[in-house]
Chains A and B, each alone.
Chain A
Amino acid sequence: MNKILRNIFILLVIIIFIVAFSPSYTSLNIDNLAYVIALGIDVGENEDFNISFQFTTGSSTSDSGSSEKSPLIINSVEASSIDSAINLMNSYLAKKINLSHCRLLIFSEEVASQGISDAVYTLANDSQVRHSANIIVSKNTAKDYMQNSTPILENLITKYYEIFPNSSKYTGYIYNVTFADFLNQYLCNTCEPFAILGGVNKNANTSENTSQSTSVTTMKSTNTPFSGDRGAENLGIAVFKDDKLVGELTAIETLCLSILRGDTDSFLISVPDPDNPEKLLDIKISNEGHKKIKVDIVNGSPYIRFEAKFTGRVYSMKDNAHYLDDAMLEAISNAANQYLEEALTQYLYRTSMEFKSDISGFGKYALSSFLTAQDFEEYDWQNSYVNSTFKVTIDTEIQSGFLINET
């Protein structure tokens, strides 16, 4: 009798719990959710925002093993905020929107220049949002950007979204900016946030190549020499001051940012050939990890020194090359040093004078010059950065060519 009652009691408890947790179960069940893979935020015509959601369906693999590219589905809605947009979209889709697999957060240039702190806070408040999602500021509208991001080499667009920031490791022309990084940099008082600069290639899906910039010093999204199946491209950095977009970095400046923040492992630069200054030599530089940043406060303004050591090997091969000759290597090293120093100094002054934004994160190196947190607060690093003086010393050691050293 006792035992029966106990079993009935246990059964009751289980049933109560199933009933109590079933709303959560229904709202989080895999069958009832629609997974957003990219979220685009544009300025709306009637409301504040025009929010676009990108979905995909899994690549349906047939029995024969052939699989086809999964279609992209983009829906957008105008609403006063991100969450109300999600809410409206839920009723339209008849599935609950879930952001836990959202790989990209795309802000249009217009939204970004108005300030995105509310949107970022709102997204940070949502437990579903992936901190490793990349944050992109698009030169075109976010919807355009999404419509043009079709997977080329992959079946599933999420795969592309996942791997494209990795190219920063070996090109340095973009920077793997995640949502978490952005949030951290926005909230800290020692640095300023930045985002990946995206845009739609004007040459996309057209065969002719309209005149575009081909120099790394001016190249950035929407101003690139690419032409291909995918319209969306990511090149360069969008610079923020506080939460507002204040400028854009070109490819080479992005590389400088990557060097300073240590994001890139190796990169390629084209320096003038010491033998023939008309021509350019391509050199692969690897970041050996030796990097020194020192920030001193001299007369109330920051004096920032940057020293780095690189090693490099020459890619370009030509007639009559002597890449084992000391003098030759020295000359190339000097050219590389000069090139990098120039680029870095230019970049640094541009951030301090033009953008007034410490995106390179020098602030944390300045922390040790202060005794207490209050002192640092009073110094107001973010606004003192404008007065910075920079000294960049690069020591590049060009070692050799790759397989061929003498021709």
Chain B
Amino acid sequence: MDFKKILDSFTWKPQEAYDFSIAQTEENNHNQEENVNPLENRKKIVSHLDVNLEYIKTRFNTFLNSDIILREFTLLVHNKPYKAFLLFIDGMVDSNLINDFILKPLMLRNSTNTFQTQKEKNISQTITNNVSLRKVKKFDLAQYISSRLLPQNSITEEKEMDAIISGVNAGNCALFIDTLEIAFDIEVKGFKQRSVDSPNNEIIIKGPQEAFVENIRTNTSLLRRITNNEQLIIENIEIGKVTKTKCALCYMENITNSDLVAEVKYRLNNLEIDSLLSSGQLEQLIIDDNQIGVPEILSTERPDKTAKHLLQGRVVVLVNGSPYSLIMPATFIDFMSSPEDTNLKPYFANFLRTLRFLASIITLLLPGFYVAVTSFHQEILPTELLYSILSARETVPFPVIFEIFIMEVSFELIREAGLRVPSPIGPTIGIVGALVLGQAAVSANIVSPILIIIIALTGIASFAIPDFSFGFHLRFFRFGFVLLGYIAGFLGISIGLFVYLSILCNIRSFGVPFMAPFAPAINSKGNGYFIPPIWKQEYRATYVAPKKEKAQDHISMKWKYK
């Protein structure tokens, strides 16, 4: 039996390749103008509640959108029932306010709504020529409700749908009542401000300081608050046969490519697992496997970053219980950019990006290069440097490769221990690590000081990469390059680099080539590695094939150029 298995491993079995790619169709861009929602032409609120209801349902996509709540009920005015509905976004409103001060007074029988006067209030009555002329003030339902039934501090009556909807998006609650051509915009904002904390792991200087929390509803409300648009669809998906973990699939209905949304949905819906506890698990479950562990999904704890990607036409998945959002698809550029970049002037942002690119190369290749140069290609070193390496290595008993492995492993150990150690004794690790391993190892002639510089530089560079998992990936593979450099110098490194590059070029994150827009070369329209000034960022990244490619007008600074 075992023999057959051994034999099997040498025989060929057809590989089943899972293949998905986004069709970058041209027509996506052509019908940009027609993409405008036809319903948006209808702006006024009509007196038929059902019509309004339908409109709201379409506009908010309530079948898909999980956090849009439509509460239909009947209210009582003068003992007369009126059909009505409430519209609000879960997580953005304070439900106690709605319960206590909107639904209760409207629905429960109490003295105010059962109070019956004549419908029409006589103001004056004159009878001339047997014709009684009554000056009547018509009973004003709207006025009655707002003045007597809703004990709320801020109520506005709106005739326009758009005004109502933007109020809802901002966290208000809309009350539609049958027969009325207006709706009430009632302020019931109640964000979970308390639990939203500042980000711990992705700190930036300029920019918002809030982070996702464990509660999914809070997170969706954060997203909705930033995007402030009803086109943001938040779908609920439950994953895990046992845990039934709530996940939210978010995308911009009018921007995100529908193939992409369908693909993500397909993958999420076809997960046969018992439990899902964190977004990290989900990430591994839904990506195409690549051989070298390159992250294909951007994971962030920052709502602003998430919203930025949403608006660029990407899909975001939130997992209940996990303070990280998953952004897909993600390309190489995304892992090298920080939310800081857009807040800075383009020169400085691009300088930082150059620095980060350099950092990633240093992380991946520097130790390998050092080994290769000292083992095979000393002629490339300037003579003075060669002699300083030589004199530094004079008393070191180990070969370079061994030396570098000792130090790299101890560096990783310090990093790992520093992470796990309880915070009160954290500084000890620093002292022990820096002092013992740095100073003492050199003084004891175990390693050469130049090597310490190499290791330190590699370590620092790896932390300069904004995305933690990408930095981890590079740090891991530097060992491979050390080995290759040791085996065959630059030959090994170049072969390794070629295989590595090929694999990177092969990766597709949800149908988008990982190295886009470099390989394949795509005209990214200002979404390349270096960012143009804000006014020039006219288009969304073409490689995610958004429905709406144009992000802003050709001339965005209308105040300056007419």
Task: State the A residues within 8 Å of B (CB).
Answer: 1-2, 5-6, 14, 17-18, 21, 24-25, 28-31, 33, 35, 37, 56-61, 70, 98, 100-101, 103, 128, 130, 156, 158-159, 162
Contacts and interface: CB of A to CB of B under 8 A. Distances in A.
B391 A57 contact: yes
Given A1-B2, A18-B486, A21-B487, 6 more contacts: A1-B9, A25-B486, A30-B378, A31-B400, A58-B388, A159-B383
Pairs A-B, 6 closest by C-beta atoms:
A58-B391, A58-B387, A100-B379, A2-B9, A30-B374, A158-B383
Contacts of A57: 387, 390-391
B483 interface: yes
19 contacts: A1-B5, A1-B8, A2-B5, A18-B487, A25-B376, A25-B487, A28-B378, A29-B375, A30-B393, A30-B400, A33-B378, A59-B387, A60-B394, A98-B378, A101-B378, A101-B379, A156-B387, A158-B383, A159-B384
A56 B388 CA distance: 12
B284 to A, nearest CB: 18
A401 B391 CA distance: 50
A162 B378 CA distance: 17
Nearest to A3: B9
Given A30-B390, A61-B391, A156-B384, A130 B379 contact: yes
B384 to A, nearest CB: 6
Contacts of B390: 30, 35, 57-58
A189 to B, nearest CB: 31
Nearest to A24: B376
Which of A6, A21, A60, A128 has the most B CB atoms < 10 Å from its CB?
A21
B374 A29 contact: yes
A226 B251 CA distance: 83
B389 interface: yes
Which of B5, B375, B394 has the most A CB atoms < 10 Å from its CB?
B375
A24 B2 CA distance: 40
A25 B384 contact: no
Contacts of B399: 29, 31
A35 B381 CA distance: 12
Contacts of A2: 5, 8-9
B443 to A, nearest CB: 8
B4 to A, nearest CB: 10
B457 interface: no
B375 A37 contact: no
Given A2-B8, A25-B486, A29-B374, A56 B387 contact: yes
Interface in B344-382: 374-376, 378-379
B391 A59 contact: yes
Overall SS of chain A's interface: mixed
Contacts of A29: 374-375, 399-400
B17 interface: no
Interface in B1-25: 2, 5-6, 8-9
Interface string B125-150: 00000000000000000000000000
A31 B384 CA distance: 16
A79 B232 CA distance: 85
Nearest to B442: A63
Given A35-B386, A128-B379, A21 B488 contact: yes
B386 A14 contact: no
A370 to B, nearest CB: 39
A56 B394 CA distance: 13
B1 to A, nearest CB: 10
Contacts of B379: 100-101, 128, 130
A1 B489 CA distance: 33
A37 B390 CA distance: 14
B3 to A, nearest CB: 11
Nearest to B373: A30
A100 B9 contact: no
A300 B386 CA distance: 54
Contact of A28 (B8, B375, B391): B375
Interface string B386-419: 1111111110000110000000000000000000
Nearest to A63: B443
Given A2-B9, A101-B378, A101-B379, A158 B387 contact: yes
Contacts of A17: 487-488
Contacts of A100: 378-379
Contacts of B391: 57-61
B393 A162 contact: no
Contacts of A70: 387
A25 B378 contact: no
Contacts of B483: 14
Contact of A5 (B9, B375, B388, B487): B9
Contacts of A56: 387
Interface string B467-501: 00000000000000001001111000000000000
A59 B391 CA distance: 7
A352 B391 CA distance: 50
Contacts of A28: 375-376, 378, 489
Nearest to A18: B487
Contacts of B375: 25, 28-30
Contacts of B400: 29-31
A30 B389 contact: yes
Contacts of A24: 376, 488
Which of B376, B388, B489 has the most A CB atoms < 10 Å from its CB?
B376
Nearest to B374: A30
B314 to A, nearest CB: 34
Contacts of A1: 2, 5-6, 8-9
A57 B386 CA distance: 11
A348 B149 CA distance: 114
B377 to A, nearest CB: 8
A21 B375 CA distance: 11
